[in-house]
């Protein structure tokens, strides 16, 4: 197989150059090459109108999903409640939680307003099952098949108070409308009846389930796919072409738990043989196999796999290999052109399934969160629909290279494809629809025998998350499906020409800001780096190489803009301690005195400068950090052991701090704020710097917190003396040089590296220091607080952010895959060396074993190693002392608790401070009393009913930093928050990665003093307030009053 990899001749990575293309420019180019002539557009409109009118007249063909969307939609409480129930109910193992979930969601909607309104018997039946007002109906399984008897049965049993049974049955009824069968054999049996009735020609079976999180998951999915292929093969005539029979859709993220672009080499080594085996199995039976489309970050990897498959000798004469292409992706047209080139190179004819796309909302959010330059998808439905037509033409024109499969429920798209196919002269294509949808449209078009049904196969519990995605995809008010059969929506509106919509505009959604503009005009979002792109990975590799090839960095104090470097202690690479990265000279008493004298002298003028002028310096620093991102990320990997992903996030946080505090300085420190008062006088309040602030930052965020503390103090009008952590002075040295480079006066900021007991103690004890900002350990914060309290002179403010015994509470409604993802990320991301990292996860007794097995399997997929490699998940801990402490703790817990699993640190355990993450099960909360700062996660089984008691025990520990909750029950979420109030609570997501201005960060109790960093009140703590009252009548009267 190594030979086939070398044969790749198409540069799939070139697609990354247009991944974030400008949407308006791209649509302008598409308009110049309009896929439909004016005559074809008019004919398309006539045909589309005919389809809508015919389908509405044939209401009996309405599918279950269409009936549901027509009645409930996603714009009311009932529709959302039903979605939440569908997504969670059948996986809940305990009756009590099921009852609670049902009751909560039913209370949130007005079900009686829907009962009997839909034309669908089954939607009405589900509504009956949802009514709670004294008449909850149990649904007899024997009556499912006869709608009339079904309703009669409901009426007969109208007094039966079986809430749980009714709801479970209602969910199963919905499920059976969307699952073709529990097995492929069942699905094919049911499918034959649909083919006989003229409702379908063929099927593509989709094995239900989420993406794999463990090797065991992947093996289970592989077996399911093998079984599906064998089942289809058993009924396929090998002599007929692949498109003339049923097929199987394969989701590659189900075949490997780490199906990500950065893991390409691993995927090709570990997963590719499984994909090849599935394809060979399908080729042997001459059936079709479609590689499903996934998120945009995985597109190039999927295409590389397809490319390799297409060059395999064992698949040479098989034309059943297929791929789904998403029209909402800006690269879709280019993908189709390259597929044509690949087909010509390899002699294949690919089966290409053109879809609109099912991950639109998550793609938008992902681009926002990651700070990408733009979106990989169109933001308007019209843009996607237009691109769909452009892609359809390309596919139909590539007759010899592509067998087109048009998956759509849109009457205009169907009509346009019919017209295009006739014009081009290509009749070798098919339509596709989802099982449970599109019957009315294709029935009206008379195309039932040209339609392949994309049909999920599997258990109900696996179906329902899939169902929710389909509802989200098709249920928005702007969706064609939502309005297709609604008689209140004019047909002309339903089938509006997307080309006209694009021509008229807007060509970008006006209410969806691009990632750089996420925070509006006041503040630009920080720019991220997309590691799924090879060009970005290459740039990072070059930056890291430059450090390896460059002389060691000589750092030291920077006082009044002048660096005093040379000598000092060696700084070694924490994952390769034989390598010296640089050295740093500690600040001496003379350096400290000069810095404090200069800072004290300069501060009044800096404060007088005003917030707007100071903001210019901070914004310039933010821009400089982005311009030097690759170098800073590389340095953090070498000095702090940060992975590339962590380094990217850290640079972004530093940038966000600069811009956020600049915005606040402009708004609150520039002019006087007028206060109300009596006639005849003016009253104003203003904010000013306190004097010299001492900023003491930690090694775990050597750039972000270092820069954040400094920029806050500077923004508020203070000058700064900064003491970085002893382990990471080089990053601090580079950051201060950047401040200088953008024009910050040297006397405004001084760098004083050194030990806490020497440099730190001298700074805190000096009366010239007017305030201290500290992030670090609780014991150190206590020492600082006591030192400040014992000083003579003014009371000095301390802003401290310390650690926490951060917990997550999970209940039985939580989705396993989401819990695993968020626990692994929260506990082991950054090698567990975050203040916000998860330390204890509370798992419900009923599902604990299942979740623990998943966590162990997911841990096994983590890669520990050189943090400068893009596929590394975890680097070393910071130093030998930290590792020794963690090792001793795990050894102790082997005696006192149960160490469920611990990974080997691999090579960096020998060359540096590598430490394998550990999972430890406790029998009591009393077994843990303090934070262990590293990748150690504790598990405790509990009964969610005891949340008040458990929360009280956690409160008793004294910490209050971060808290996680995983539950679909809003009542449980509230109970957890009430039982254990902390600084930052995260629901159904990871617990780390607080974003400046979005999730202001900080705790209470032993976890800090507040206010929260990156929040609206933070700068006030760095400032002093002054009021000014002027009696204007003393100047001859109140002219303003006299003029009334």
Any idea what the CATH number is for the domain that residue 235 is in? 3.20.20.220
Q: What is the pLDDT of residue 1032?
A: 87
Query: Which ranges of 912-1012 does DSSP label H, i.e. alpha helix?
Result: 947-955, 970-979
Tell me, yes or no, whether 532 lies in a domain.
no
Reference 468, options 972, 118, 818; nearest CA is: 818
Question: Which pair of structure tokens corresponds to residue 806?
Answer: 């951060």
Tell me, yes or no, whether 280 lies in a domain.
yes
Q: What is the pLDDT of residue 472?
A: 55
User: Do 407 and 550 fall into the same domain?
Assistant: no
Cβ contact 335:300 at 8 Å: no
Rounded Cα distance between 38 and 215, Å, is 54
Tell me, yes or no, whether 334 lies in a domain.
yes
Neighbours of 853 (CB within 10 A): 15
Tell me, yes or no, whether 126 lies in a domain.
yes
What CATH code is carried by the domain that includes residue 880?
A: 3.40.309.10
Listed in sequence order, the residues at least 6 apart from 908 whose beta carbon sits closer than 8 Å to its beta carbon are 575, 576, 864, 865, 866, 875, 876, 914
pLDDT tens digits along 28-46: 999 999 889 999 999 999 9
User: Do 793 and 812 fall into the same domain?
Assistant: no
Reference 956, options 925, 931, 991, 984; nearest CA is: 925
User: Do 237 and 154 fall into the same domain?
Assistant: no
Q: What is the pLDDT of residue 553?
A: 94
Average pLDDT of each block of 10 consecutive residues along the chain (1044 residues)?
Answer: 54 97 97 93 96 83 58 56 67 76 62 47 41 32 38 37 53 69 90 89 90 96 97 92 96 97 98 99 98 97 98 97 98 98 97 93 95 97 96 98 96 97 97 89 88 88 64 54 77 93 94 96 97 97 91 96 91 97 97 99 98 98 98 98 98 99 98 93 96 98 99 99 98 98 98 96 97 97 96 95 97 94 98 98 98 99 98 98 98 97 97 98 95 98 96 96 95 96 97 97 96 98 97 73 66
- How distant, in Å, are the alpha carbons of 27, 894, 977, 1000 from that of 972? 47, 33, 9, 24
The parent domain of residue 126 ranges over: 73-176
Q: What is the pLDDT of residue 777?
A: 94
What CATH code is carried by the domain that includes residue 659?
A: 3.40.605.10
User: Do 208 and 153 fall into the same domain?
Assistant: no
End-to-end CA distance of the chain: 90
Reference 796, options 767, 836, 825; nearest CA is: 767
- How distant, in Å, are the alpha carbons of 319, 343, 401, 804 from that of 316? 8, 11, 14, 59
- Domain boundary pick from 770, 802, 834: 802
User: Do 599 and 709 fall into the same domain?
Assistant: yes
Cβ contact 568:585 at 8 Å: yes
- Domain boundary pick from 480, 495, 515: 480
User: Do 755 and 831 fall into the same domain?
Assistant: no
Q: What is the pLDDT of residue 83?
A: 62
Q: Is 964 helix (H, G, I), strand (E, B) or coil?
A: strand
pLDDT tens digits along 187-243: 999 999 989 988 889 999 999 887 999 999 999 999 999 999 999 999 988 889 999
- Domain boundary pick from 747, 782, 802: 802
User: Do 153 and 291 fall into the same domain?
Assistant: no
Burial per residue of 541-557, b for 16 or more beta-carbon CB atoms within 10 angstroms, e otherwise: bebbeebeeeeebbbbb
* Residue 698 Cα to chain centre, angstroms: 27
851: alpha, beta or left, given left = phi > 0 and alpha = psi -120 to 50? alpha
Tell me, yes or no, whether 275 lies in a domain.
yes
Rounded Cα distance between 1019 and 657, Å, is 11
Tell me, yes or no, whether 117 lies in a domain.
yes
| Residue position matching structure tokens 């929360």 | 951
Domain count across the chain: 4
Burial per residue of 457-476, b for 16 or more beta-carbon CB atoms within 10 angstroms, e otherwise: bbebebbbbbbbebbbbbbb
Q: What is the pLDDT of residue 34?
A: 87
User: Do 213 and 343 fall into the same domain?
Assistant: yes
- How distant, in Å, are the alpha carbons of 16, 118, 193, 199, 850 from that of 61? 43, 14, 16, 10, 42
Q: What is the pLDDT of residue 547?
A: 84
DSSP 1008: B
Tell me, yes or no, whether 525 lies in a domain.
no
User: Do 697 and 570 fall into the same domain?
Assistant: yes
DSSP 802: -
Q: What is the pLDDT of residue 157?
A: 45
Rounded Cα distance between 104 and 720, Å, is 53
Listed in sequence order, the residues at least 6 apart from 183 whose beta carbon sits closer than 8 Å to its beta carbon are 227, 231, 457
Listed in sequence order, the residues at least 6 apart from 519 whose beta carbon sits closer than 8 Å to its beta carbon are 525, 997
Tell me, yes or no, whether 526 lies in a domain.
no
User: Do 798 and 828 fall into the same domain?
Assistant: no
User: Do 168 and 317 fall into the same domain?
Assistant: no
For residue 137, list its beta bridge partners.
none
User: Do 745 and 782 fall into the same domain?
Assistant: yes
How many residues are listed for the chain in this entry? 1044
Residues noted as catalytic: 801, 835
Rounded Cα distance between 484 and 492, Å, is 11
| Residue position matching structure tokens 């400008």 | 22
């Amino acid at each position: 197989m190594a030979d086939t990899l070398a044969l790749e001749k198409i540069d799939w990575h070139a697609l990354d150059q247009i991944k974030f293309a400008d949407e308006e420019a791209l649509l302008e180019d598409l308009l110049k090459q309009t896929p439909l002539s004016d005559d074809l557009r008019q004919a398309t409109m006539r045909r589309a109108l005919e389809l809508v009118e015919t389908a509405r007249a044939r209401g009996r063909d309405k599918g279950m999903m269409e009936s549901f969307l027509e009645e409930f939609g996603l714009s009311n409480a009932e529709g959302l409640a039903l979605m939440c129930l569908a997504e969670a109910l059948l996986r809940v193992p305990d009756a009590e939680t099921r009852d609670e979930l049902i009751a909560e969601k039913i209370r949130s909607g007005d079900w009686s307003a829907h009962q009997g309104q839909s034309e669908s018997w089954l939607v009405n039946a589900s509504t009956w099952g949802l009514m709670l007002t004294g008449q909850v109906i149990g649904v007899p399984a024997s009556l499912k098949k006869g709608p009339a008897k079904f309703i009669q049965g409901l009426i007969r049993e109208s007094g039966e108070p079986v809430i749980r049974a009714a709801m479970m049955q209602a969910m199963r009824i919905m499920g059976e409308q969307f699952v073709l069968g529990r097995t492929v054999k069942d699905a094919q049996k049911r499918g034959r009846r649909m083919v006989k009735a003229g409702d379908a020609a063929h099927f593509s079976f989709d094995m239900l389930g989420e993406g794999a999180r463990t090797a065991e998951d992947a093996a289970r999915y592989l077996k399911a796919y093998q079984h599906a292929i064998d089942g289809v093969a058993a009924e396929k005539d090998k002599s007929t072409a692949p498109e003339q029979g049923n097929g199987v859709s394969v989701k590659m993220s189900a075949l490997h738990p780490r199906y990500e672009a950065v893991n390409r080499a691993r995927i090709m080594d570990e997963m590719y043989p499984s994909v090849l085996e599935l394809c060979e199995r399908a080729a042997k039976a001459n059936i079709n196999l479609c590689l499903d489309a996934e998120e945009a970050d995985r597109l190039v990897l999927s295409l590389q796999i397809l490319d390799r498959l297409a060059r395999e000798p064992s698949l040479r004469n098989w034309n059943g290999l297929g791929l789904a292409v998403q029209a909402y992706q800006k690269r879709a047209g280019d993908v189709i052109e390259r597929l044509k080139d690949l087909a010509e190179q390899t002699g294949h004819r690919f089966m290409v399934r053109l879809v609109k796309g099912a991950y639109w909302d998550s793609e938008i959010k992902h681009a926002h969160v990651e700070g990408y330059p733009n979106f990989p998808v169109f933001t308007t439905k019209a843009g996607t629909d237009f691109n769909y037509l452009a892609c359809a033409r390309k596919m139909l024109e590539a007759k010899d290279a592509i067998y087109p499969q048009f998956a759509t429920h849109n009457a205009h798209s169907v009509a346009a494809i019919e017209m295009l196919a006739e014009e081009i002269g290509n009749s070798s294509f098919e339509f596709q629809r989802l099982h449970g949808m599109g019957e009315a449209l294709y029935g009206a078009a008379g195309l039932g025998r040209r339609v392949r049904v994309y049909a999920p196969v599997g258990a109900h519990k696996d179906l329902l998350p899939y169902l929710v995605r389909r509802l989200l995809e098709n249920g928005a008010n702007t969706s064609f499906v939502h309005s297709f059969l609604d008689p209140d929506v004019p047909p002309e509106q339903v089938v509006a020409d997307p080309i006209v919509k694009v021509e008229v505009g807007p060509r970008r959604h006006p209410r969806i800001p691009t990632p750089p503009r996420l925070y509006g005009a006041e503040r630009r979002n920080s720019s991220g780096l997309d590691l799924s792109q090879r060009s970005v990975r290459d740039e990072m590799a070059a930056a890291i190489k430059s450090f390896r090839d460059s002389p060691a960095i000589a750092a030291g104090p920077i006082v009044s803009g002048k660096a005093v470097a040379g000598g000092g202690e060696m700084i070694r690479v924490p994952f390769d301690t034989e390598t010296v990265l640089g050295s740093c000279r500690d600040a001496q008493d003379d350096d400290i005195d000069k810095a404090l004298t200069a800072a004290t002298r300069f501060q009044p003028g800096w404060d007088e400068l005003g917030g707007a002028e100071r903001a210019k310096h901070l914004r310039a620093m933010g821009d400089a950090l982005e311009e030097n991102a690759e170098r800073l990320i590389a340095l953090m990997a070498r000095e702090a052991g940060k992975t590339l992903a962590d380094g990217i996030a850290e640079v972004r946080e530093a940038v966000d701090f600069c811009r956020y505090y600049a915005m606040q300085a402009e708004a609150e420190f520039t002019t006087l704020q007028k206060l109300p008062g009596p006639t005849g006088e003016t009253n104003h309040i203003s904010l000013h710097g306190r004097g010299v602030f001492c900023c003491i930052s930690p090694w775990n965020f050597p750039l972000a917190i270092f820069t954040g503390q400094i920029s806050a103090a500077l923004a508020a009008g203070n000058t700064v003396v900064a003491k970085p952590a002893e382990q990471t002075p080089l990053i601090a040295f580079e950051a201060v040089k950047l401040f200088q480079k953008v024009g910050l006066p040297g006397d405004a900021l001084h760098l004083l590296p050194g030990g806490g007991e020497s440099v730190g103690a001298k700074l805190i004890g000096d009366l010239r220091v007017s305030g201290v900002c500290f992030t670090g350990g609780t014991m150190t914060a206590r020492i600082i607080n006591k030192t400040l309290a014992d000083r003579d002179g003014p009371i000095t403010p301390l802003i401290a952010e310390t650690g926490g015994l951060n917990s997550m509470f999970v209940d039985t409604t939580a989705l396993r895959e989401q819990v695993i993802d968020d626990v692994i990320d929260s506990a082991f991301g950054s090698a567990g060396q975050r203040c916000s990292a998860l330390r204890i996860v509370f798992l419900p007794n009923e599902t604990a074993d299942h979740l623990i097995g998943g966590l162990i399997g997911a841990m096994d997929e983590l890669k520990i190693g050189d943090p400068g490699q893009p596929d590394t998940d975890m680097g070393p801990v910071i130093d030998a002392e930290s590792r020794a402490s963690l090792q001793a703790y795990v050894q102790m817990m082997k005696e006192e608790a149960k160490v469920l699993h611990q990974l080997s640190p691999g090579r960096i355990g020998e060359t540096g401070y590598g430490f394998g993450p550990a999972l430890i099960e406790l029998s009591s909360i009393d077994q843990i009393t303090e934070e262990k700062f590293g990748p150690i996660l504790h598990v405790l089984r509990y009964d969610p009913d005891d949340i008040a008691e458990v929360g009280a025990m956690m409160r008793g520990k004294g910490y209050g930093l971060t808290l996680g909750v995983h539950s679909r029950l809003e009542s449980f979420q509230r109970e957890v928050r009430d039982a254990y109030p902390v600084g930052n609570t995260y629901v159904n997501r990871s617990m780390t990665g607080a974003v400046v201005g979005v999730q202001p960060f900080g705790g209470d109790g032993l976890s800090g003093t507040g206010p929260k960093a990156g929040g609206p009140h933070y700068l006030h703590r760095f400032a002093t307030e002054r009021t000014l009252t002027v009696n204007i009548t003393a100047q001859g009267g109140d002219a303003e009053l006299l003029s009334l």
